[in-house]
Every structure is written in structure tokens, then in C-alpha cells.
């Protein structure tokens, strides 16, 4: 009953976690607004939902383009009198050492544009409707890697950390007005995005179905955080002793990287 009948907007829902979460939520009676760049893939997800008896609408958009984002939000608001949940799932990740990105400021710019600016932009467009209703929820997708000192993902982690800070501010300002904010801290998930990194092919990862279930849990229970015990411990340790924790964990991460590279070379 916490999900049935709700109108849920999910970005990055043409494939991977977003598509699976859309299908799982639709099976529980949610009305799904599918948002991503690739309309043909969105239609496939829509067809899967409708064949199973659910309801889904398609809104193709490039969320890094302000005009496209605005048109998308306007269309959603025109089609649906109530917006209950926004899931900011669309994301881009880059795995690259800082020393190899010295002349690649665009890595940081394009990552922040989709992971942070686009999420904030769509939130700002849909928030007035939620405030009018006196209730709403924003679910922002982050990563376990922002809870522990992970190397090689400086652009990605900086963008996710910004989104987490925005989430906390949003809840602090509007929680008393019925706006809930949840942050989902995923570990590595076996998706098309992670598959682009060759050395991760042999690394144990969460499957897409389980990851999507975490989003469903966020919508159902509306907690401030959904994540793993490891992430919680990492957050506490990093907040208490950032210097020592960062220095002590780095040899382990370097060794893991070497082992993954060897395994990838044998595949």
C-alpha cells in the first residue's frame, strides 16, 4: 500500500538498475514515468511494464541540457496531477587517476553535469508540485565508494558527494513540509556502466535485481539512507579519523587493483 498508486519518476530508466527498479515498482502498483535519452529503449521498458499489467509513460530527455530537462519536467507535470517520488538514478562514472586527468577538466564537467546538476535541476522543477501536495519524496542514488576512501574515481565521487550534501540540505529545510529524502548507497553493481571497465569483469558485484530492490525499499520505507553495514562503518570511521583511515586503506586498494588487472589479463 505504500507504493501502489504512487506516481514515480525514474531517471536513467532505459536500462540497468533504473529499468529494473521501474519494473519492480510497477509490479507493486506504482505509475512509472520513464526518463532517459534513448527513446527506443524506454519504449522497451514501457512495453515490459504494460504487458505485465502496469502503467508507464515515456519522457525522452537529455538531462544535461537545460532546455531538454525543462521540457521533460513540463511534460511530466502536465500529464500527472500528482508526483509522489523522484528517483534521480541517471549517472555517469569515470575511472581515471587524477594524474591522468590533468588536461581533462571535461571529465569532471560532464560527470558533475549528469550526476549532480541534472539531479538537482529535475528536483527543483518537480518540488513545487510536491510542496503543493504537502507530501513527496526524492530518492538520490549514490555509492558505497563515497563512504570509504576509494581511489581512481575522483570525478564520480565528487559529484556524488555533492548530491549527498544537497540531499541533507533538502531534508533539513523541507522535511517538516512532508518532503522525504532518501540516499541509496550502492556497492559495485553489475551494469552496462560497470561493464565498460575491463578489470571489473571478474570482480564480485551486486546484481541488478537486488540493487533495484534497494530503490523499492527506499520508496516503500522512506528512510534517510539505504546501504550496507560496511558503508555505515566506513562513514563513521572516515568522519572520525579521515587521515588515518585513508592512509591505512590505500595499500589494500592498490593490491586489489593489481589482482584485478592480473585476472583481467587472463580472461
pLDDT tens column, 178-221: 999 999 999 888 776 655 555 556 666 799 999 999 999 999 99
Q: Establish if 2 belongs to a structural domain.
A: no
How high is the pLDDT of residue 180? 98
Per the listing, cell 590505500 goes with 250
Residue 120's nearest CA partner among 235, 224, 11, 7 is 11
Cα angle 225, 36, 218 (rounded to 5 degrees) comes to 20
Q: What DSSP element (H or E) covers 136? A: strand 136-143
Q: How confident is the model at residue 267 (pLDDT cuts 50, 70, 90)?
A: very low
Whether 156 sits among the annotated catalytic residues: the reply is: yes
Cα angle 168, 155, 140 (rounded to 5 degrees) comes to 30
How high is the pLDDT of residue 60? 98
Lowest mean pLDDT of 14-28, 49-63, 124-138, 199-213, name the range. Answer: 199-213
**Residues of the domain holding 247:** 7-266
Q: What DSSP element (H or E) covers 177? A: none
Cα–Cα distance measured from residue 97 to residue 99, given in angstroms and rounded to the nearest whole number: 5
pLDDT tens for each residue of 168-177: 999 999 999 9
Q: Establish if 147 belongs to a structural domain.
A: yes
Q: What is the number of structural domains in the chain?
A: 1
CATH of residue 141's domain is 3.40.50.720
How high is the pLDDT of residue 263? 58
Active-site residue (options: 116, 156, 185, 200): 156
Q: Establish if 199 belongs to a structural domain.
A: yes
Amino acid at each position: 500500500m505504500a507504493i501502489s498508486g504512487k506516481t514515480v519518476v525514474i531517471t536513467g530508466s532505459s536500462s540497468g538498475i533504473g529499468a529494473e527498479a521501474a519494473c519492480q515498482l510497477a509490479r507493486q502498483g506504482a505509475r512509472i514515468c520513464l526518463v532517459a535519452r534513448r527513446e527506443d529503449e524506454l519504449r522497451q521498458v514501457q512495453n515490459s511494464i504494460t504487458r505485465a499489467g502496469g502503467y508507464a509513460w515515456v519522457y525522452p530527455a537529455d538531462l544535461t541540457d537545460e532546455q531538454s530537462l525543462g521540457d521533460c519536467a513540463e511534460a511530466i507535470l502536465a500529464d500527472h496531477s500528482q508526483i509522489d517520488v523522484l528517483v534521480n538514478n541517471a549517472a555517469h562514472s569515470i575511472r581515471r587517476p587524477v594524474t591522468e586527468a590533468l588536461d581533462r577538466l571535461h571529465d569532471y564537467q560532464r560527470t558533475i553535469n549528469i550526476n549532480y546538476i541534472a539531479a538537482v535541476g529535475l528536483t527543483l522543477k518537480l518540488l513545487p508540485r510536491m510542496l503543493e501536495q504537502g507530501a513527496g519524496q526524492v530518492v538520490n542514488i549514490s555509492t558505497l565508494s563515497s563512504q570509504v576512501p576509494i581511489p581512481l574515481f575522483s570525478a564520480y565521487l565528487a559529484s556524488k558527494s555533492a548530491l549527498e550534501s544537497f540531499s541533507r540540505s533538502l531534508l533539513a529545510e523541507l522535511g517538516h513540509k512532508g518532503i522525504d529524502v532518501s540516499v541509496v548507497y550502492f556497492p559495485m553493481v553489475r551494469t552496462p556502466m560497470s561493464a565498460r571497465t575491463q578489470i571489473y569483469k571478474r570482480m564480485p558485484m551486486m546484481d541488478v535485481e537486488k540493487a533495484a530492490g534497494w530503490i523499492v525499499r527506499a520508496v516503500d520505507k522512506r528512510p534517510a539512507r539505504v546501504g550496507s553495514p560496511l558503508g555505515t562503518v566506513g562513514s563513521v570511521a572516515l568522519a572520525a579519523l579521515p587521515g588515518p583511515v585513508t592512509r591505512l586503506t590505500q595499500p589494500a586498494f592498490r593490491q586489489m587493483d593489481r589482482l584485478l588487472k592480473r585476472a583481467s589479463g587472463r580472461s
